[in-house]
């Protein structure tokens, strides 16, 4: 049990930190590319957009956003061990639902895009545009469901471990998923990842400061109060 807890805590903390780095890198690279585009827009020169010094000097940083995916994979594995530690299968179950939601959303969107391409080839342009819009909606729906199920998973972990920051991180992640369409979701996800990292860092084993130990403390206080009253 102690080994499962150590694995859950280390993987969760490591994964959360990787998510922070990956999301921060994504935001940074997005800002860099935006300024590069604006600069070239005013210069009326778009031929060398991807070969500008501003872009090539940061080529190595393009690998950092992928740490986000690695981080989430580690968090999912951490939630599996957490479900074993706290005896709550729902922690891992909802995490799996979260992954399944985004996978189904992406695969569904790819299929719809392929149908849209076929529609354009067959000169059915209105149908092609409609299908492209449908693909975007499917992806966004998958992202929202992913955030919701992750919220459910972290809420259960918060309940069983007695660490309220997990629930807070889940709420922030769900808000990030919902607001992804207005392009501020990444900033909110960054905040959620930081909170999640702190939650894993402060996570206590069963009976080591969680909900169970709080119940024991309250019971002891009640017993001491009864003794004082009897005296």
The answer on pLDDT for 182 being more than 90 is no
Separation of alpha carbons 24 and 187, rounded Å: 8
Average pLDDT over residues 53-68: 67
Q: Output the pTM of the full model.
A: 0.78
DSSP-derived letter for residue 86 is T
Least confident piece of the model among 35-39, 46-50, 206-210: 46-50
pLDDT tens digits for range 102-155: 999 999 999 988 888 887 777 656 777 788 888 889 999 999 999 999 999 999
H or E stretch including 155? helix 125-161
* C-beta separation of 173 from 147 below 8 A: yes
pLDDT tens digits for range 196-223: 999 999 998 887 654 444 443 454 555 5
């Amino acid at each position: 049990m102690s080994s499962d807890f150590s694995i859950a805590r280390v993987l969760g903390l490591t994964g959360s930190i990787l998510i922070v780095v990956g999301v921060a890198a994504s935001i940074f690279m997005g800002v860099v590319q935006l300024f590069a585009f604006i600069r070239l827009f005013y210069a009326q020169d778009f031929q060398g957009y991807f070969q500008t010094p501003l872009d090539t000097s940061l080529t190595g940083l393009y690998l950092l956003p992928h740490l986000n995916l690695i981080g989430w994979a580690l968090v999912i594995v951490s939630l599996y061990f957490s479900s074993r530690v706290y005896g709550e299968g729902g922690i891992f179950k909802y995490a799996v639902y979260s992954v399944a939601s985004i996978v189904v959303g992406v695969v569904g969107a790819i299929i719809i895009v392929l149908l849209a391409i076929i529609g354009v080839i067959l000169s059915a342009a209105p149908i092609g545009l409609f299908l492209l819009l449908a693909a975007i909606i499917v992806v966004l729906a998958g992202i929202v469901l992913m955030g919701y199920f992750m919220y459910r998973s972290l809420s259960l972990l918060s309940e069983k471990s007695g660490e309220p920051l997990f629930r807070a991180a889940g709420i922030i992640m769900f808000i990030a998923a919902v607001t992804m369409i207005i392009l501020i979701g990444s900033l909110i996800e960054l905040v959620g990842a930081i909170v999640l990292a702190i939650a894993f860092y402060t996570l206590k084993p069963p009976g080591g400061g969680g909900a169970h130990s709080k119940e024991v403390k309250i019971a002891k206080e009640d017993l001491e109060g009864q003794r004082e009253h009897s005296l």
